[in-house]
Amino acid sequence: MVGTDVAEDTRRPGRLAELYERHAPAATRLAYLLSGDHDQAEDLVHDAFVRVAGRLRHLRFPDAFDSYLRRTIVNLHTSRLRRLRREREYMERERHTRPEESFPPDVGLREELWRALQTLPGRQRAAVVLRYYEDLSERQTAEVLGCSIAAVKSAVARAMRALREGIRGEDA
């Protein structure tokens, strides 16, 4: 077959399936030898086949489909190894930055905060919820509430003072 015929022949129904059937067994063996895992090997072959078949018309030598497929499998496997190495390095760094102890959430405190939040006037409650629960900036909170940034700052400050006093007052 002439090189351009392979690319043009992929338009024929079933041609891609034929290419896959012909090249998948050898490609899967290669991918398994690289990865050591059958599921990963199948994923590598599928991903590589999709990439190469999608560019078949643009390949310099379409008759060398198996060579392109092998090279793509190796490249995908290498990229996967790099990604895993970066993930392990990140996890190792994060392991050293996390606090040693983590405490389960205090349900009683949560309920106490919820009750105190319900005592706030609506605008103050909305400002606190938007700023701290929804994690909006002061500007975004002001836009949602239809007021100035200064008004948001004031509402949040008054609400936080009232929450502190309300929680301390319950303990006294």
| pLDDT of 31 strictly over 90 | yes
Q: What is the pLDDT at residue 147?
A: 94
Confidence label for 101 from pLDDT (cuts 50, 70 and 90)? low
The domain 107-171: what is its CATH number? 1.10.10.10
Domain limits, the chain: 3-97, 107-171
Check if 3-97 and 107-171 are the same fold: no
Cα–Cα distance for residue pair 20/91, rounded to 1 Å: 38
Q: What is the pLDDT at residue 58?
A: 62
Q: What is the pLDDT at residue 133?
A: 86
> Angle CA(9)–CA(14)–CA(15) in degrees, nearest 5?
30
| pLDDT tens per residue, range 48-87 | 998 887 776 666 665 677 888 899 999 999 999 999 999 9
Read off the amino acid at residue 149. Answer: I
Cα–Cα distance for residue pair 8/6, rounded to 1 Å: 6
Q: What is the pTM of this model?
A: 0.49
What tokens does 33 get?
Answer: 């030898």
Pick among 1.10.3470, 3.40.390, 1.10.1740, 1.20.120: CATH of 3-97:
1.10.1740
What tokens does 10 get?
Answer: 């992929």
Q: How far is CA 108 from CA 48, 105, 168, in A?
A: 54, 9, 14
Residue 30's closest CA among 83, 72, 70, 85? 70
Average pLDDT along the chain: 83
